[in-house]
Amino acid sequence: MSDKNKLNPRQVAFVREYLKDRNAGRAYKKVYRCRASVAATSGPRMLKNLQIKAEINKLIQQDTDRLDLSREKVLRAYSALAFGDIRDLFTWDDAGVHVKDSSSLTKEQAMMMQAISMDKDERETKDGEIVRNVRIKINPADRQAALMALGRHLGLFNDKLRLDGGKGSVMILQAGIPEPDPPPAE
């Protein structure tokens, strides 16, 4: 970049702050220390600056390369979470539930679980017998969030609600409402 096209320190700070959560207004307010009303209009305006856009895209590409990310990898991970089969992780029968050995799980199968913890305790009965209890607590990954992400990617949901405000004006609101089915053909 030539000096003419070089970002100033505040613009660089804006880009770095923006990339944290992709909220231009919040990033502008933090970097330029202004009122929220000013940031709400000035932040999005900053994103129209070609040098800022280029810097954002460059940093996103660097992250993507460094993390070895691709659309395909992200979609495969969402698919593994959304469509994983619990039978890949556990078996059950009349004797109880049996957890499969974690070393035999694939990466996709292991991703299905957010957390697993185990508590063991022993106690002695009146007869002197030792009773061992094992409790396993399982927190599965958020399947619904993965399904929603895939659904949005595939365009299954209409995330815009149009309201006619009269006199030709239209207001569009973001929402998570599935598109209605078309009326039946007569």
Residue 183 lies in a domain: no
* Residue 68 φ/ψ, nearest 5 degrees: 55, 50
Q: Among 14-23, 56-65, 151-160, 171-180, which is the least confidently predicted range?
A: 171-180
Q: What is the pLDDT of residue 181?
A: 58
Residue 113: beta bridge partners? 140
Last residue of a domain, which of 26, 43, 66?
Answer: 66
Q: Do 137 and 150 lie in a common domain?
A: no
The whole-number average pLDDT for the span 166-173 is 58
**Is residue 10 a contact partner of residue 42, using CB atoms and an 8 Å limit?**
no
Assess whether pLDDT exceeds 80 at residue 41.
yes
- Indicate the number of domains in the chain: 3
Residue 129 lies in a domain: yes
What count of other Cβ atoms lies within 10 Å of the Cβ of residue 150? Answer: 16
Q: Among 13-17, 54-58, 152-156, which is the least confidently predicted range?
A: 152-156
**Is residue 51 a contact partner of residue 44, using CB atoms and an 8 Å limit?**
no
Bridge-based pairing of strands 130-140 and 113-124 is antiparallel
Residue 61 lies in a domain: yes
Residue 150 lies in a domain: yes
d(CA 105, CA 95): 23
Q: What is the pLDDT of residue 59?
A: 93
Q: Do 61 and 36 lie in a common domain?
A: yes
Q: Taking the model in full, what pTM does it have?
A: 0.54
With the C-alpha atoms ordered 6, 23, 75, 80, is the resulting torsion angle positive or negative? positive
Confidence of residue 56 (pLDDT cuts 50, 70, 90): very high
Q: What is the pLDDT of residue 4?
A: 64
Q: Do 31 and 44 lie in a common domain?
A: yes
Instruction: Supply the range of the domain harboring residue 98.
Output: 77-141
Residue 186 lies in a domain: no
d(CA 117, CA 112): 15
